[in-house]
């Protein structure tokens, strides 16, 4: 998997990491219909416990992702923050107007 993070998204994540230095960025794709990866929502979270997740290198720093999310998402993702957080691939847009959830 290749994840590219735009400069604006890097700045956003850096602000969150600065406020929560013991957290890591985590992507989770929650599927509504387990038979179809087309039916679901992607979440961006800051989490502390990364033990059971896959580490994906990016052009910023590593991002963590669950096995189910790794299987469901396209192999190329772009995380952007033009004025709202969004995640897209060459084939589709996964989320726009996303929030970053901080998990204690």
Q: How many CA atoms lie within 13 A of 59 on its CB side?
A: 15
- Higher pLDDT pick, 34 / 22: 22
Tell me the whole-structure pTM to 2 decimals: 0.87
In this predicted model, what pLDDT tens digit does every residue of 47-63 receive, in sequence order? 999 999 999 999 999 99
Domain range annotation of the chain: 2-102
Q: Does domain 2-102 have CATH number 2.60.300.12?
A: yes
């Amino acid at each position: 998997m290749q994840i590219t993070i735009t400069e604006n998204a890097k700045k956003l994540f850096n602000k969150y990491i600065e406020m929560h230095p013991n957290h890591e960025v985590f992507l989770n794709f929650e599927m509504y219909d387990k038979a179809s990866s087309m039916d679901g929502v992607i979440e961006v979270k800051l989490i502390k416990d990364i033990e059971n997740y896959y580490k994906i290198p990016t052009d910023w720093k590593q991002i963590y992702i669950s096995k189910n999310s790794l299987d469901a998402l396209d192999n190329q993702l772009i995380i952007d923050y033009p004025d709202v957080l969004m995640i897209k691939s060459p084939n589709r847009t996964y989320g726009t107007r996303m929030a970053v959830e901080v998990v204690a």
